[in-house]
Amino acid sequence: MKIAHIVNIFAFVVLLVATASVSVAIWAAKQSDFHNYRISLAHKSYEQHLQLTADTYLLFKRFGDLLLVGDSDRVQDVNEITERLNMHLSGIRSTIEDEIRLVGDEELEELELLDEVEDVIEDLSSLFQRALAREDIDDIRSNWREFSLVLNDNIKNDFRELISVALEEEEEEVAETEAEARAQMELVRRIAFILAGVFLLITISTLVIFRREFTRPFEDLLNGVRKFAAGDFSTKIELKGRSELSEIGLVLDEMSEVVAARTKNLTMQNEELEQAVRQRTETLEKLLTEARKSEETRRQLLADVSHELRTPLTVIQGESDIALRGADKTIDEYKEALGRTRMAANHTANLVSDLLFISRKDSGSLRLSLEPVDLSRLIYDAITLSGLDVRFTPPSETTMIRADGQRLKQAMLALLENARHHGGSTIEVTLDTYPNSVEIAVSDDGPGISDEEKELAFERFFRGSNAASRYTEGLGLGLPIVRSIAEAHNGSASIHDRTTGGTTIMLTIPKTPQS
């Protein structure tokens, strides 16, 4: 049987029992309120009748005093007592009307009895009033005993009997209502015992069914899943029945077969992959070791070559100076020969200096001389030294940064020389400031550079495709030096195309680079 069906049946039965219990409780509460209210009305009516009786006897006593004594001050007492009697009669009538609304017309007899009591009281009061108004009142006072006996007979025969009947009816009503309340409570108690027994039977039956259809299969399913988690896919769960847990067990059994087959294949593939990774790792480690050795050798070679070339070039320069002062040859010949020697020596010295700078930057041994630098002034000086016609408008805000002024001027001269030889006729320099950095852009209107050559332009000794036809003396170290100077300041250098044609080389420098 499906677990969902069991749950639905149990929920329906529980809901049915709960509805019955709530209905019984509501009915019992209403009946209890009814009985309590009826008893309270009966007690109220009983008390009102007693008060009416007491005030009635008090009224007759005051009338008797008036007849015997003739004290006019007691007239006010009689009026007050009469008002109270009227209030008692109105209260009793209101209570009886409430009882009629509660239980129906069976309380009309009490209302009729109250009318008779009211008539008796009015008759006796009229009797006293007539007696007081008689001219022979002295004869009544002299014969008071005879008048008193007549009055007592009337009260006993009429008023007392009516009041006794009314009080007995109220007592009977209270007793009847209490008996009905006890019967109702007994009925509610029996219904409660029956509902409790039904609910207990349902609970026990549900627990037995739940244990058979859910708990035991779930324990078997959980044990099977734990074995699967431990890697044992050979054990089958094999749950019986047609419940949802049985279907889950069947699916898990089928899945275990698939997982076992795939696990075996994955294990074999993993072993093969680990073997291939080990081989590839060994190969990469060898290549990395060789690359490190090659790079170290290249840097060392570059440093050694630069160091070794610097000394003979210095000697050549000194010898050239001496030869220019000799007298064996004509002055023009010496000057011409030695001039070429000096020019070559200077060229070689510059080359070596550039190589040393790049090598030191790559090895991390480059040291900058940081100081406050006014970039606007520095750019003006570089433009003046270049001798080029360059458009430059400095920004209005301050352009002071902390940097190596000599290196930045070297970078600006390299950018201007690059624009002179590889750009067009128009060169423009812009300087933009930001909260944490500045950007120097050198733009030209030349033929530009292809996307493939933009990144290669910062490699050492690289010369663009237009360099051979426009400028043949360059060595391809200008832009590498520019990038090295920018990166030494924790900045960057990049090449971009202008929208109107040409090239823009962007130099970004932090305002306070790390030393």
Q: 494 - beta bridge partners?
A: 506
Residue 147's Cα: distance from chain center in Å? 97
Task: Give me the pLDDT at residue 397, please.
Answer: 81
Per-residue pLDDT tens digits for 367-425: 788 899 999 999 998 888 888 888 998 888 878 899 888 888 888 888 888 888 877 78
Pick the CATH number of 367-510 from 3.30.565.10, 3.30.410.10, 3.40.50.300, 3.40.50.12160: 3.30.565.10
For the ranges 300-309, 339-348, 355-364, 442-451, the maximum mean pLDDT occurs at 442-451
Higher pLDDT, 149 or 38: 38
Is the distance from CB of 463 to CB of 414 less than 8 angstroms?
Answer: no
Would you kindly state where each structural domain of the chain is located, as residue ranges?
3-209, 367-510
d(CA 66, CA 128): 9
Count how many Cα atoms sit within 13 Å of the Cα of residue 410 in the half-sphere of its side chain.
20
Residue 398's SS3 state is coil
- 308: number of Cβ within 10 Å: 11
**Least confident among 23-32, 461-470, 489-498:** 461-470
Task: Give me the pLDDT at residue 314, please.
Answer: 65
d(CA 134, CA 136): 6
Task: Give me the pLDDT at residue 471, please.
Answer: 46
d(CA 411, CA 189): 105
Per-residue pLDDT tens digits for 147-175: 555 555 555 456 777 777 777 877 887 78
Confidence of residue 468 (pLDDT cuts 50, 70, 90): very low
